[in-house]
Structures are given as structure tokens and as C-alpha cells.
Structure 1
Amino acid sequence: MGALARRYLVLYNVAQACGWLTVLAKASRASLDDATGAYDACRSTLMVFQLASFAEIAHAVAGLTPTPAAAALAQWSGRTHCLKCALDAVKTSHASVAATALVFAWALTEVVRYPSYVGGLIGRSPKWLTWSRYTVFVPLYPLGAAAEMKLMYDARAHARKTKMYAVTMPNAYNFAFDYVTFLNALLVAYPFLFYTLYRYMFAQRRKKLGKAKEN
């Protein structure tokens, strides 16, 4: 990797770490007053930094990071869909327990993940940070996935009532789309997609922490 690319990635990951730390701080502060107010308190910051993480797909395509581009796209699109369509578009879900769980699961994961990337890029990643990177996902990934599924499940009623994102025929493109059906299919597929990611992360944990022990 060239020096310029490395500097760019360091700056990108530092910015993301700061952004997610801000999300965590805002959500934590709001939760002290109202346990269900976390999402609205950090909504704008969360939206900006989640959408900005689209850059990680470009990083993968350009070969700047070893992450497969398809995996980066799947993770980004899954998160962004849940955030924009199943949560933000359904106002009644903003104050739900699932919304609060999602905010904290995502933020706690990212405030460890991005600093870990920075440490790796500059060659100064302490063992405790590497251990945290490959350990905090164990409880947080299932929590985040469960919150995402609950939000999508709850969004169906709103989507059915308002015909949200529905495309009906006849139309010029001879195409129809029912968002409720899409959500139902996604909810069936989600556990299998999560299992694939979770198993991959455990394989990475064995690889990374095994190396840390050897060092």
C-alpha cells in the first residue's frame, strides 16, 4: 500500500471512530433522561456516518482493504436499509427498545473496530485493542441482528397501511413491488445471513487472537 493511500485510510478510520464515539455519547446522554430517546438524540450523526461508510465498498473494490467487495456491500446495504427504511421512516419505532438496542450495538462495535483499523495501519495496535475488536462482537452482533429483525418485523404494519415503497401495475415498466413481501423474505433470510457473518467473525477471532498469543 502506498503512503498516500495509507494516510487516507488512517484519516477515514479516525473520522469514523470520532463519529461513532459521538453517536455513543449522544445516545448515552439521552438514555440517562429517557431510555427510549437514544435514536432521536443521535439520529443525524448516526445517519451521516453510516451512509459515509459506503466508502468501504470503494476501498474493497480498489484493493485498499482485504475485505471482499461483496461482503462490504452486503453489510452496508443491510444496515442502511434497516436504518433508513425500517427505522427512520417509521416514526413510531424511534422510541422503541429495538431502536435503542440497535444504536448501542452498532456504536459500541464501531468505537472499537475503527480504532483497531487505525492501529493496524500505523503498526501500533495494542493487544487489548486487538482482543476487544475480536471479542465485543460476540454479544453485540446478535444484539444488533435481533434489533434489526425486530424493527423490520414491526415496520410491516406501517408499510402495509401506507403502501410504503409499493409499486403497482399497470405501469410503464410492467413491474410490481410489494415492500411487505420483501420484508417477509428478508426476515426469513436474515438468520442465515447472520450465521454466515458470525461464523466468519469467529474464524477471524481464532486467527487474530491466535497470532497475538504467539507474539
Structure 2
Amino acid sequence: MSSKPTTPRGPRGLTKLYLLGYNAISFSLWATCTLRGCYLLAINPAEDIPTTFNDIFWPLLTTTQTLAVLEILHSLLGIVRAPVTTTAMQVASRLLLVWGVMFLFHEKGDGAGIVGAPSEVVKVGDYAFLGCLSAWGVTECIRYGFFALQVLGTGVPRWWTWLRYNTFYVLYPLGITSECVLVVKALKPAAELNPLYQWFLIVVLGIYVPGSYILYTHMIAQRKKALRKRAE
């Protein structure tokens, strides 16, 4: 009894080449952000966080994070098997932090925020930005490196798989907590910019708790599914 040949799973042709390029570029950019941050923290005084922020934020971090918008498109078009809702939630929350908080209210060289008032968000002694950079950078280096190796088809090392499906237990709470701290710090300058924007950020904070739970449990479910499949 003859059996039909199995169709190779995963992306092929131009789709494979595109995904390999996208993941490789994203990995390189996040690795640059993370290593650059470590280097600046090593050479700058611990209290001089705005210097580290301004060096990394524009255009490196903004470009790196904004590139993730393509992942929503990937999900919508079916290029990758990722839920559109959870992908959009993750990308939207990051974009809000980068453009709606860090960009609007970060401290400039003269001690004032980008909107003119003294910054209440990223300033001397504020480690929430470093929490975001650490959690985002390490998580994304692991994630994009994992996807690049997966698309390449050479196999993902067991230790990398372990990092992919275990480090989020610590990094995700660190990232979410740091993000919430920055949004809270942005409430006062947001009110000075526009009271409606302050209320928008308050609503965002109200969504963060259930949204974080949904994303966290989704990652736990993905971990169980991936490890079960690897054991088969």
C-alpha cells in the first residue's frame, strides 16, 4: 500500500527568504540595542540614564520597535501562524510606550521634555526604561533568533528552545511592570499636553491587567504545546 509523500511544512520560496531576512534583521537590531545599552551603562554614571536613553532611542530603538508592525500584517496575510489579536495587542502596547510615552515625554539635553515641560518620565534615577530595554531586548533576541533558525531549517539548538519557552516567566513580568511605571509617570505631563490624552492613558492602564493576563497565559499555552510537540 503506497502512501502519499508528505508536503514539507513551513514557508517556502520567496516567503521563506523574506521571513529569514525579516527575522535576521530584527535579531540584529535588537542585539544592537541591548549590547549598546550595556556598553553605555558601563561607561556612563549610573544616575545618567537620560544619556543612555537619548543615545539608544533615536533612531535605533524607534526603528527597531516600529518594524514589528509588519508582524500584524504577517498574521493577517497568513504568512505566519500567529493569532492576529494577541500579535496586535503586543505590538500596539510596545508602540504606545515608544511613541506615545517615551517619544512625547523624554528628557532632552536642556532638562525639558520633548513637549516643553520638564520630563516626568525618563529622567535621572528612573530605571523603568532600563527595565523595558532589558526585557524587550533579551526577549526579542531570543525570539527572532529562534524564528530565523526555524525558517532556515537547520534546527534550533535545545538550549535556545529552552530559552525561548522559559525566560518569559521572568522577562514578561519585568517588561510589563516597567511599562506600567512609565505610563503612570506619563499621566501628569499627558494632562498638561491634553487632558483627553491623560484619560486615554488611564484607560490603557485599565486594559493592561486583563491584557497582560491574556498574553501571559497565551505564552504559557504556547510553551506547553511546543514542548509537547518536541517530545513526540
TM-score (norm 2): 0.82
2:32 to 13, 22, 28: 22
Instruction: Report Cα offsets for 1:6-31 as digits up to 9, x if no partner.
Output: 01100110000000000001111111
State which structure, 1 or 2, has the greater radius of gyration over its C-alpha atoms.
Answer: 2
2:134 to 99, 104, 112: 104
Give, as a single letter, the amino acid of the residue that structure 2 aligns with 1:149: C
Give, as a single letter, the amino acid of the residue that structure 2 aligns with 1:111: C
Give, as a single letter, the amino acid of the residue that structure 1 aligns with 2:204: L
Matches within 5 A, 1:23-42: 23-32=33-42, 33-35=44-46, 36=49, 37-42=51-56
Contact 1:131 1:209 in 2 (8 A): no
What residue ranges of structure 1 are gaps of 5+ in the alignment? 167-177
Instruction: Report Cα offsets for 1:168-200 as digits up to 9, x if no partner.
Output: xxxxxxxxxx11111111112211100110011
What residue ranges of structure 2 are gaps of 5+ in the alignment? 1-10, 107-118
Instruction: Report Cα offsets for 1:51-92 as digits up to 9, x if no partner.
Output: 111111111111110012222222111110111111221122
CA distance in 2, matches of 1:69, 1:200: 13
DSSP 3-state at the match of 1:94: coil
Aligned residues with identical type, % of pairs = 28
CA distance in 1, matches of 2:77, 2:193: 41
Please tell me whether residue 139 in structure 1 is matched to residue 170 in structure 2: yes
What residue is the counterpart of 1:210 in the other structure? 228
Give, as a single letter, the amino acid of the residue that structure 2 aligns with 1:18: S
CA distance in 2, matches of 1:73, 1:120: 22
Contact 1:17 1:114 in 2 (8 A): yes
**Number of aligned positions between the proteins:** 201
Matches within 5 A, 1:3-152: 3-32=13-42, 33-35=44-46, 36=49, 37-43=51-57, 44-91=59-106, 92=119, 93-95=121-123, 96-123=126-153, 124-152=155-183
What residue is the counterpart of 2:114 in the other structure? none
Contact 1:152 1:183 in 2 (8 A): yes
Contact 1:102 1:148 in 2 (8 A): yes
DSSP 3-state at the match of 1:67: coil
Q: Name the Cα RMSD after superposition.
A: 1.4
TM-score (norm 1): 0.88
CA distance in 2, matches of 1:52, 1:61: 16
What residue is the counterpart of 2:186 in the other structure? 155
Farther-moved stretch of structure 1 (50-59 vs 94-103): 94-103
Runs of 4+ in 1 over 4 A off after TM superposition: none
Contact 1:39 1:103 in 2 (8 A): no
